[in-house]
Structure 1
Amino acid sequence: MNSEWSLQQTYFSAQEFRASEGLFTQGNGYLHIRGSLEEHLSDCPQNVEYRRKPTNVTAEKFPNITSRWGTFIAGFMGKHPILNSQIVNLPYVLGLKIFHDGEALDMVHCEIASYSRQLNLRNGVLSRSFVWRTVSGPIITVRFERFISSTHKGIVVQRLKLSSDEDTNIQVQGGIDADVRTNGYDCFSEVFMESAGSNKVYCKVKVDGYSMGILSELISDSGDWEYYQFSKKNGLASIFELKKAIEIVIEKRTELKKIGLEKEDFLADFELEDLYSLTYENLLEEHTKQWDLKWRDSDICIENDPVSQLAIRTSIYHLLRTEVLEKGVSIDAKGYAGEAYYGRYFWDTEIYILPFYIYTHPMSAQKLLDFRINTLDGAKENARKYGYSGARYPWQTDIHGRECCANWQYADHEIHVTADIVYAILHYSKAVKSSYLNEASELIIETGKYWLSRISWSENNSTANLLGVMGPDEYTLVSNNNAYTNRMVKLNLELSAHISKLTGKNNREIKMFEEVAQKLPIPRKGDLILQCDEFETFAEPEFDKYWQDRSKPFASQVSQERLYRTKCLKQADVLMMMYLFPNDFTNQEVKKAWDYYYPYTTHDSSLSLSIHGFIALRLRMHEKAWEIWRKVSMLDLDIKNGSAAEGIHIASCGATWQLAVFGFAGMKTSLETDILTFDPILPKQWKSMSFRINWKGQKVFVRLYHDVCKIKNLSNGNIQVNVSGARGKLNADQEAVFQYRPDVEIEALEEVTR
């Protein structure tokens, strides 16, 4: 298989496996399953209960187990006694255990050779093959393959192939295991299991008034399946006769479906029954075709750098896997690949993830924003709970729009998420659908009302202050006039005023929106933009003294009290603001901010480095930008560091895409320009870079070299383009070639920036 299209492993490592489970997660937007083993590991129970408490997840230590199952359906949530609403880890449906003469196949305890495991990024098929040298003598070749259907919601398709070097018998068990926990807690108030025919088993679990039904069937040309059930497990078992060098094939098909609380006539509601006439090859073919369509508009080709090529495709794969298919859900912070962030929705979606969909799959982008509109009532209730008017979006939200964050610091003070959502709505409206501002008008106005009630006026009413807030840098607890927050709120209020004028709202409120927007300060000291009013009063972090092990987060080596009183940044708020509002600041101001904040930044947040990559590119710091690209794009791919153990950093996947397209390709967003514009700074390690973009409803294909940019109009209408100042108009199906200078000095860009 092409190494630029697949994640490959040639050995099994118990120490690294949990990270590979996260990295190898499969999904179809509705159902997602971590890359766990079909046969599992004998020394790794999944029903261990523990008490997880609210804490700083960055510094949190999770139970150190070799494997953690994870079966998640987007939006299927339940209550945790301490942590509030969380995603539910559903019963494990992949189980296919193999026994030979009493010996259970186990990657840790058995003698295994010729191990190979690969995830095909092109179609999301996970395969594994190896040779099992059994204790009693026969050498058995085992091949597993599985995919989560992209054409049949909730259906998992598996295939097991077995052969032996001599005649022997082997037992296979396939079933459902509901004895699982979510963050150490048993979410199931009821588990019901039964046989559903000669080759099918059924399981239903009840969670807080909702039920999930699971129907699984085993298909084989030989063998007689016998039903078994014990504890919270059920399944089918059969003995198979293996003839020397003759391969047998066993299929397992499973469907997960939200159902009513009553089980009568449950089989009639499952699609699995309708797929009997389709072979494994039929299902795989239609599944692959659907993935081909996804990749057609999303792929980025990088020439001469296979490491970067695999990295960007891995990020895109996970973004495509988590693409929202239904109303009422969004994309959780771990990309439905783990429980660490409880399956909740953060600002990550609007700022880091959404741009990928805006410019590749705009319909999916709108679904993400529709989720925020549909949970406006929850935001209004949240504002009322805090004693304010309008709508205040939760820091961590569930599917109902309720605040679920159990940490008061973030829930009470990290309020920028409300304005981040409005920023994202404006971005989408300018890039895709201008009328969307009308659809979101109530949200925009209600969030503006919240900010009017949240500000505090100075004694002479000369400034409107936002006091007691936390910006994206979560190591600065309660600060006044956080620069990032104030700039976002200014945009929110300006848009609230604009929409109010269009909808005929009262003039007094419009004037208040405009006045507060004008009088919100961005703290500064000369050319230096201050993160907040108090930042220079904080203590020096003394990293050399307190941060002894740089391979671990700073927060794991000092107390939270020390974090909150020193100039240590989880991520740089000011640089983040400068990235999102590039035309507000000169290059001198950006350079001043970089020089001041970079030494204080710990990058404990996975969201931090990518923003520094953009700023490095703006400042033409090519080597630093490349160093950052390698770290950002390889974050989860390097399984030795265990980064993906608790799930994928899906926002970092979005940031990787942005760093490639908005960074190296230099594409300006629709918030910056109305004309498709590129200012490329291709890394010297790449020969070329190519991709498709959806620009205001028109598709174009872009291929970049170090001094040449080729753009082809794939749409029916004309499109205006700008490459490093050279403008042109492309007719339908026309291709144009632009030459550009990638080595322009920063001083030459100053006039453009101003």
Structure 2
Amino acid sequence: MKNWIIKEEWFNNQEITANENRFLCGNGYLGIRGALEEFQKEKLPAVNLSGIYDRVGDGWREPLNAPNPLYTRMKVDGEYYFLPEKEPVSHTQELDFKHGLVRRHTTFHTKRGSVTVESEHFASMADCHLIGMRYIVMADFHADLEIQTGIDGDVWDIHGPHYDDVRFEQKDKRILVDAITHEKKEHVCVAEQYRTQAPHEHKTKEEERRSLHRICVVTDINKPVVIEKMAAVYTTNDCENPQSASEELVAESMELGYEKQRKRHIDCWEKLWSTSKVEIEGDEEAEKELNYSLYHLLSIAPYHAESQSIPARGLSGQTYKGAVFWDTEMFMLDFFINTQPKVARTLLKYRIDTLAGAEQKAKSYGYSGAFYAWESQEGGYDACSDYNVTDVFTNRPMRTYFKDKQIHISGAVVYGLIHYVNSTGDTSILYEGGAKTILSCAMFYDSRMIERVHSGVYELCDVIGPDEYHERVNNNSYTNRLAGFVLTEAVRILSQSREDEKLAEALGEADCEYWEKRFKEDTEKLVQKKPGTNGVIEQFDGYFQLEDTTVDTVRSRLLNEKEYWGGAYGVASDTQIIKQADVVTQLVMFPEDFSRKVAWDNWNYYEPRTEHGSSLSACMYGILACNCENPDAAYPFFRKSAAADLKGGGKEWAGNVYIGGTHPAAAGGAYMTAIKGFAGITMEDGQIKAHPHLPDGWEKMRFSIFYQGERYEICVTANGTEIKSMGHYKISGHCGDF
């Protein structure tokens, strides 16, 4: 790929938050929003941390934003020059997404001449706790320059403030901060240190929740003043003494130097891309959009952990409470299984290790087995509120049922586990809790079914499918099919345990013979919807009796553009207009169930009735169109998914609450559309097969896949496919050891 740079050529005050998402960098442990160094909390900068949460009062629990060690402002001749307060002569901001490097170049005109600021920063892929920054100032006159740089502890929070106490300490050219959380008194510690070769005077400056170096220099004409900084972040989740750990890492990093740390970081990115990039000949724009999407997935993968997942908004802030949704298993997992199988294992281990939380949730509703959290935080705690939407007319919270009724989440966990085992051949995860997880999810569906008197069939009633606009429906086709899949896999696992002692041991004291018989009966009696005479599968009982209208008609009924379309009184609730792919998602997941004609009949029926109110929707229509040999119909859906974070345009605010951020599920969906859809990659009889459906103008696709203990390089053209084994691997390291 030729162009790995995205760039904004001018400063636009209206694009600040969107650019902070576009220019995000991260390493799985932390994500740094692409804010300019001078921004304070009202501009929403953040160093967002993974896996550590806090709650204040009745607000939602959300992940922590660390004190910001990149904070830097500049004075020239005693006057501040920073955006947006001062109008620049020129300004560019760019991201090198091949190497995770964020840069800016800004020129101001002062009373005595021009001053230019250049900067670069990165979240180190070589050490997840480390952040590097280089800040350069150059003037075309002898400027009296003061650079103020340090740590800003006055952080942006959505439902905070989360730090009851922020304690600073200065040691010469090093600043330390210990921030103590409200709920559990966790410690978030940040250390930073700078270096410059320029002759300067060093002073300090203390502000409320902010500690700064004052670096005072008289510049030479057109000679740069270069400041290099390293910062480290540790919490009590990481070690007993995070303050000492952060201080020690900064000292070691400064000794090694910025350039060497930068090279270590770049080398890690090169290794990641060696198995992750997708090359497309004949469509440079689509190639760039897709790989930019993959950059975001690589930036938020938990390389540092053995058991952790990815929040729905990645590491772009506190939106959606930093919670893990079904997005991970259904939309992101394919990418990691194919390119970073160790990461895929880590994501699934998170679900295994939160099984107790899922079982506790099921018990709280009176069910058996495992009912996974809709919005999962640490330990499987369900952060989803009973009142997730605010009525725009009364400003009162509205009762929603996402937490209670979206029971398909447990099926997504099992689907991900089985997909991982089938693709990697790594059955050890079953012995490490995976088999027990499958069994427990099957027990949940078994306990959740009802049998109408004398009916002879089992039903799953009072549920919500992927289409959240229709709540509390009966026999959602997607949910029932996924539950049937879980029960079938549980039967297979139980049967296999009779000959596999390790598997039997992993299942614990379960009465395998009893459950195998019971689950078989469940699968035989559970309602599974069939196509009607027109080939269309009814999304749920009574769906076809709802008003059949258009998306535009329903939109025209809104009295307020921020109204929620679903729920009891939403404008879509009594219509066939749906939020996102539902039956279509089922047909993508289980293509063997129905003919290509049936699939295409459903695509044509449901797509005009889909509002695509979720970034998860477009990719499913794209994949199904490819499966139906219509890549040109798939193409705009692919581009929509791939460009979700590059072009923006999604909802960023709900009233005064920020709901923006990155869209990793859309990124994963774009990857699936490219690989499963356009390249037509399937796994058949233990082998990789390709059934290409390349869009018009695409000449060739090249990419790598890990499968069953080997890495393959694949080249797909309209005329044929070359699949070449590159050797065996084991699931360790960033992308396997060869």
Q: Same fold (TM over 0.5)?
A: yes
The secondary structure found in structure 2 opposite 1:682 is coil
Would you say the 8 A contact 1:555–1:563 is kept in 2? no
With over 3 angstroms needed to count, the CA separation of the structure-2 counterparts of 1:264 and 1:29, relative to structure 1, is: closer
Would you say the 8 A contact 2:229–2:258 is kept in 1? no
Aligned to 1:649: 663
With over 3 angstroms needed to count, the CA separation of the structure-2 counterparts of 1:106 and 1:544, relative to structure 1, is: same
Would you say the 8 A contact 1:183–1:339 is kept in 2? yes
Aligned to 2:372: 393
Deviates more, 1:471-480 or 1:299-308: 299-308
Would you say the 8 A contact 1:16–1:640 is kept in 2? no
1:122-161 aligned within 5 A: 122-134=98-110, 136-161=111-136
Asked if 1:678 is matched to 2:690, the reply is: yes
Please give the alpha-carbon distance, in whole angstroms, between the structure 1 residues aligned to 2:180 and 2:6: 36
With over 3 angstroms needed to count, the CA separation of the structure-2 counterparts of 1:386 and 1:264, relative to structure 1, is: closer
1:162-173 aligned within 5 A: 162-173=137-148
With over 3 angstroms needed to count, the CA separation of the structure-2 counterparts of 1:307 and 1:555, relative to structure 1, is: farther
The secondary structure found in structure 2 opposite 1:37 is coil
Aligned to 2:639: 630
Please give the alpha-carbon distance, in whole angstroms, between the structure 1 residues aligned to 2:694 and 2:179: 52
- Displacement of 1:267: 6.2
With over 3 angstroms needed to count, the CA separation of the structure-2 counterparts of 1:471 and 1:450, relative to structure 1, is: same
Determine which of 401, 405, 409 is the counterpart of 1:409: 401
Aligned to 1:205: 179
Aligned to 1:437: 430
- Displacement of 1:233: 1.1
- Displacement of 1:205: 0.9
The secondary structure found in structure 2 opposite 1:714 is strand
Aligned to 2:167: 192
Determine which of 619, 623, 646 is the counterpart of 1:614: 623
Q: TM-score, length-normalised on structure 1?
A: 0.87
- Displacement of 1:558: 8.2
Runs of 4+ in 1 over 6 A off after TM superposition: 260-265, 642-645
Would you say the 8 A contact 1:567–1:600 is kept in 2? yes
Determine which of 281, 286, 308 is the counterpart of 1:308: 286
* AA matched with 2:131: V
**CA offsets 1:670-727 (integer angstroms, 9 cap, x no match):** 4x6522110001122222211111121111111222213222221269xxxxxxxxxx
Aligned to 1:568: 577
Root-mean-square deviation (CA), in Å? 2.4
Asked if 1:253 is matched to 2:230, the reply is: yes
- Displacement of 1:115: 2.2
Determine which of 323, 334, 344 is the counterpart of 1:344: 323
Aligned to 1:52: none
* AA matched with 1:437: L
**CA offsets 1:486-509 (integer angstroms, 9 cap, x no match):** 111111111112222333534222
Determine which of 54, 60, 72 is the counterpart of 2:48: 72
Would you say the 8 A contact 1:613–1:628 is kept in 2? yes
The secondary structure found in structure 1 opposite 2:379 is coil
Aligned to 2:518: 512
Would you say the 8 A contact 2:293–2:643 is kept in 1? no
Please give the alpha-carbon distance, in whole angstroms, between the structure 1 residues aligned to 2:101 and 2:641: 25
Aligned to 1:46: 41
The secondary structure found in structure 1 opposite 2:137 is strand
Would you say the 8 A contact 2:564–2:570 is kept in 1? no
The secondary structure found in structure 2 opposite 1:166 is coil
Determine which of 344, 367, 384 is the counterpart of 2:363: 384
Asked if 1:534 is matched to 2:542, the reply is: yes
Deviates more, 1:326-335 or 1:30-39: 326-335
**CA offsets 1:40-72 (integer angstroms, 9 cap, x no match):** 2xxxx626xxxxxxxxxxxxxxxxxxx311211
- Displacement of 1:582: 0.3
The secondary structure found in structure 2 opposite 1:89 is strand
- Displacement of 1:121: 1.0
The secondary structure found in structure 2 opposite 1:235 is strand
Please give the alpha-carbon distance, in whole angstroms, between the structure 2 residues aligned to 1:86 and 1:673: 44
The secondary structure found in structure 2 opposite 1:511 is helix
Would you say the 8 A contact 2:56–2:159 is kept in 1? no
Please give the alpha-carbon distance, in whole angstroms, between the structure 1 residues aligned to 2:435 and 2:650: 45
The secondary structure found in structure 2 opposite 1:194 is strand
Would you say the 8 A contact 1:523–1:533 is kept in 2? no
With over 3 angstroms needed to count, the CA separation of the structure-2 counterparts of 1:268 and 1:679, relative to structure 1, is: closer
Would you say the 8 A contact 1:193–1:202 is kept in 2? yes
**CA offsets 1:9-48 (integer angstroms, 9 cap, x no match):** 11111111211101111111111110000022xxxx626x
**CA offsets 1:297-319 (integer angstroms, 9 cap, x no match):** 10111123221111011111111
Aligned to 2:611: 602
With over 3 angstroms needed to count, the CA separation of the structure-2 counterparts of 1:553 and 1:593, relative to structure 1, is: farther
Would you say the 8 A contact 1:255–1:272 is kept in 2? yes
Would you say the 8 A contact 2:176–2:247 is kept in 1? no
Would you say the 8 A contact 1:553–1:602 is kept in 2? no
- Displacement of 1:389: 1.1
**CA offsets 1:57-92 (integer angstroms, 9 cap, x no match):** xxxxxxxxxx31121111011114335431112222
Determine which of 487, 496, 513 is the counterpart of 1:502: 496
Please give the alpha-carbon distance, in whole angstroms, between the structure 2 residues aligned to 1:626 and 1:496: 37
* AA matched with 2:129: G
- Displacement of 1:521: 1.3
Asked if 1:663 is matched to 2:672, the reply is: no
The secondary structure found in structure 1 opposite 2:187 is strand
1:704-719 aligned within 5 A: 704-715=716-727
Please give the alpha-carbon distance, in whole angstroms, between the structure 1 residues aligned to 2:495 and 2:649: 55
Asked if 1:228 is matched to 2:205, the reply is: yes
Please give the alpha-carbon distance, in whole angstroms, between the structure 1 residues aligned to 2:230 and 2:202: 15
Aligned to 1:53: none
Please give the alpha-carbon distance, in whole angstroms, between the structure 1 residues aligned to 2:243 and 2:24: 33
- Displacement of 1:269: 6.1
Determine which of 442, 445, 448 is the counterpart of 1:448: 442
The secondary structure found in structure 2 opposite 1:75 is strand
Aligned to 2:341: 362
* AA matched with 1:300: V
- Displacement of 1:543: 3.5
Asked if 1:587 is matched to 2:596, the reply is: yes
Would you say the 8 A contact 1:22–1:338 is kept in 2? no
* AA matched with 1:684: D
Structure 2 unaligned spans of 5+? 387-399, 499-510, 654-658, 730-737
* AA matched with 1:515: E
With over 3 angstroms needed to count, the CA separation of the structure-2 counterparts of 1:324 and 1:128, relative to structure 1, is: same
**CA offsets 1:597-617 (integer angstroms, 9 cap, x no match):** 122110001111110011112
Deviates more, 1:180-189 or 1:656-665: 180-189
Q: Alignment identity in percent?
A: 27
Please give the alpha-carbon distance, in whole angstroms, between the structure 2 residues aligned to 1:624 and 1:466: 34
Would you say the 8 A contact 1:94–1:176 is kept in 2? yes
Please give the alpha-carbon distance, in whole angstroms, between the structure 2 residues aligned to 1:286 and 1:710: 33
1:12-91 aligned within 5 A: 12-40=11-39, 46=41, 67-91=43-67
Aligned to 1:327: 306
Please give the alpha-carbon distance, in whole angstroms, between the structure 1 residues aligned to 2:590 and 2:439: 22
Deviates more, 1:244-253 or 1:622-631: 622-631
- Displacement of 1:184: 4.0
Please give the alpha-carbon distance, in whole angstroms, between the structure 2 residues aligned to 1:572 and 1:154: 38
- Say how many residue pairs are matched: 689
Would you say the 8 A contact 1:490–1:520 is kept in 2? yes
* AA matched with 1:412: D
Please give the alpha-carbon distance, in whole angstroms, between the structure 1 residues aligned to 2:45 and 2:337: 32
Deviates more, 1:644-653 or 1:394-403: 644-653
- Displacement of 1:327: 3.0
Deviates more, 1:415-424 or 1:276-285: 276-285
Would you say the 8 A contact 1:80–1:86 is kept in 2? no
